[in-house]
Amino acid sequence: SPFPIKLAGPVQKGFGRGGKDLGCPTANLPDEATEAMTVVAKTGVYYGYAQVIPPAERMGEFEKGELAVLPMVMSLGWNPFYDNKKMTAEIHIMHGFKGDFYGIEMRAIVLGYIRPELNYTSRDALIADIETDKQVALRCLERPGYHTYAEDKHFNL
Ligand code: ADP
Ligand code: MG
């Protein structure tokens, strides 16, 4: 198994292609961090843990619960901006953040694959699938063996 896959980098601005209107904002990892995913290179939805790690001077923008290691779902796709030659990794952290965190360091451990990328004919079908992905991720992370990854030294504990 290629897992766990450890990713880290400052959160990039995306195309704003509707993450927030779908109730599912996705924090984009930079190219260099996404490259670690070429070991799998399979597009689709993954699950694991993520954490935002602000520098001391931006700590005030965050509430305590926002700094925890939290469950996440990640979408890995081809980036149209680079003629579909580069992958893009976008992480939705399963927590209600009070604000944006562009530029802030995000670390993640990817633990498994949920499903391939699908083409949706309706927005409602897409929203329903995202909901299912989050539930699947939470169920998968209940496996006792995974809890140790939430305490991995890749994260700030
Ligand atoms: P973009 O196209 O810039 O990625 P999105 O609509 O996908 O725009 O929103 C992503 C941004 O929303 C993230 O970069 C982050 O700053 C913010 N954000 C707020 N809550 C979350 C969350 N729970 N998971 C991921 N990003 C979040
Ligand atoms: Mg996004």
Cβ burial 58-70 (10 Å sphere, 16+ → b, else e): eeeebeeebebbb
pLDDT at site 119 = 81
Residue 155, Cβ neighbours under 10 Å: how many?
Answer: 19
Element (H, E) at 137: helix 123-141
pLDDT at site 27 = 97
**How far is the C-alpha of 47 from the C-alpha of 31, rounded, in Å?**
19
Strands, E assignment, the chain: 5-10, 27-28, 44-53, 70-78, 87-93, 105-115
In testing the pocket of ligand 1, which one of 92, 101, 127 has its CB within 8 Å of the most ligand atoms?
101
pLDDT in tens, 61-85: 999 999 999 999 999 998 877 888 8
pLDDT in tens, 95-118: 999 999 999 999 999 999 999 988
Sketch the domain layout of the chain as residue ranges.
5-144
- The pair of structure tokens assigned to 82 is 């680079």
Question: Is 63 among the residues known to form the active site?
Answer: no
Looking at domain 5-144, does it have CATH number 3.40.50.300? no
Q: What is the DSSP letter of 119?
A: -
Ligand 1 pocket at CB < 6 A: 11, 13-17, 19-20, 25-28, 92-93, 95, 97, 100-102
From 128, 122, 119, 143, select the one nearest 47 (Cα to Cα): 143
In testing the pocket of ligand 1, which one of 100, 107, 126 has its CB within 8 Å of the most ligand atoms?
100
The residue whose C-alpha atom lies closest to atom 3 belonging to ligand 1 is: 14
Global pTM value: 0.96
User: What are φ and ψ of residue 141, in 5° steps?
Assistant: -70, -10
pLDDT in tens, 3-47: 999 999 999 998 877 788 888 999 999 999 999 999 998 999 999
**ipTM for the predicted complex:** 0.99
